[in-house]
């Protein structure tokens, strides 16, 4: 297993249009396996674009991106999907849970795309939901869960496929302080088990819980 899980070299992302926007400018960074990194920046600084690039949801205009030793830059859309499927877990500010699926069914969702049968999906989803201390609410639907519980379900969904990289986009942005603390504690615990966690946030209090701090200012990355 390579020590460097993520390597970015001179990554640029330009949004074309009548007035082109340089969202990322020559961003270079490397993130080790087991790091707990926060990426801070004001609105429009480019931090979300950086997260999208890291999560293979967006393709950089130029540069080099190595994920777990694999060239993630010159690959097809299908191959990027495969990498997302097996290597990356996502946690979003607005949870993105399916309203008509129970907590455990939401957690199961990534496993559909790994060809795992229903029984094993249930088992894995239950384990993941147990890991976030929400087993007692596994049959509940999102509408009946609190904000903190929903985010725990979302984290369980991100963990169920045992990813190497957990990308969190403002994971506490929609939560009260108590729930935020609980979520951050959970992320710290997960990081202590060896999971690489990257949090994008504009909240310094959240960023201070990480071991390493990166800042995006006008598309440029500073440490």
Residues touching other proteins, count (CB under 8 A): 38
Q: Is the dihedral of CA 114, 116, 122, 127 positive or negative?
A: negative
Please identify, among the stretches 15-23, 29-37, 100-108, 204-212, the one whose residues bind other proteins according to the rule CB under 8 A.
100-108
Q: Does 30 interact with other proteins (rule: CB under 8 A)?
A: no
CA angle 53, 175, 154 (to 5 degrees): 55
Q: Is 152 in the site for other proteins (CB under 8 A)?
A: no
Given 4, 33, 63, 101, the residue binding other proteins (CB under 8 A): 101
Distance CA 191, CA 188 (A): 5
Nearer to other proteins, 119 or 177 (CB): 119
Among 62, 70, 139, 205, binds other proteins (CB under 8 A): 70
Residue reference for tokens 């030793």: 69
Task: Label residue 193 exposed, middle or buried (CB < 10 Å: 0-12, 13-18, 19+).
Answer: exposed
Rounded to a whole number of angstroms, the minimum distance from the CB of residue 2 to other proteins is 12
List the one residue from 92, 127, 188, 220 that touches other proteins (CB under 8 A).
92
Segment contacting other proteins by CB under 8 A, of 16-24, 115-123, 199-207, 211-219: 115-123
Say how many CA atoms lie within 13 Å of 111 toward its Cβ.
Answer: 23
Nearer to other proteins by C-beta: 81 or 144? Answer: 81
Q: What are the contacts of 128-136 at 24+ separation with CB within 8 A? A: 128/156, 128/157, 128/159, 128/160, 129/103, 129/104, 129/153, 129/156, 131/156, 131/159, 132/156, 132/159, 132/186, 134/103
Residue 86: CB minimum distance to other proteins, A: 5
In the complex with other proteins, which residue's Cβ is closer, 94 or 204? Answer: 94
Find the angle CA(107)-CA(71)-CA(196) to the nearest 5 degrees.
Answer: 45
List 27, 38, 47, 87, residue binding other proteins (CB under 8 A): 87
Contact mark string toward other proteins, 154..193, x via CB under 8 A: ---x---x--------------------------------
150 is an interface residue for other proteins by CB under 8 A: no
Q: Which helix (H) or strand (E) holds 14?
A: strand 4-15
First to last CA, the chain: 25
Chain residues that interact with other proteins, rule: CB under 8 A: 52, 55, 57-58, 64, 66, 69-71, 74-75, 77-79, 81-87, 90, 92, 96, 98, 100-101, 105, 109-110, 112-115, 117-118, 157, 161
């Amino acid at each position: 297993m390579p020590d460097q899980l993520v390597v970015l070299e001179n990554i640029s992302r330009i949004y074309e249009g009548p007035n082109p926007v340089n969202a990322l400018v020559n961003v270079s960074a490397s993130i080790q396996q087991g790091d707990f990194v926060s990426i801070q920046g004001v609105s429009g600084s480019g931090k979300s674009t950086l997260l999208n690039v890291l999560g293979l949801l967006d393709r950089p205009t130029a540069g080099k991106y190595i994920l777990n030793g694999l060239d993630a830059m010159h690959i097809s859309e299908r191959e990027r999907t495969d990498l997302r499927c097996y290597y990356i877990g996502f946690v979003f500010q607005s949870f993105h849970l399916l309203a008509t699926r129970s907590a455990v069914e939401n957690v199961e969702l990534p496993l559909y795309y790994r060809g795992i049968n229903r029984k094993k999906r249930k088992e894995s989803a239950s384990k993941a939901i147990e890991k976030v201390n929400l087993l007692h609410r596994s049959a509940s639907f999102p509408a009946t869960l609190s904000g903190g519980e929903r985010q725990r379900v979302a984290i369980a969904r991100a963990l169920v496929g045992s990813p190497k990289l957990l990308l969190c986009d403002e994971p506490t942005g929609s939560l009260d302080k108590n729930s935020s603390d609980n979520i951050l504690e959970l992320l710290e615990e997960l990081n202590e088990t060896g999971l690489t966690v990257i949090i994008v946030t504009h909240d310094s209090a959240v960023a201070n819980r990480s071991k390493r701090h990166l800042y995006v200012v006008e598309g440029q990355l500073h440490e």
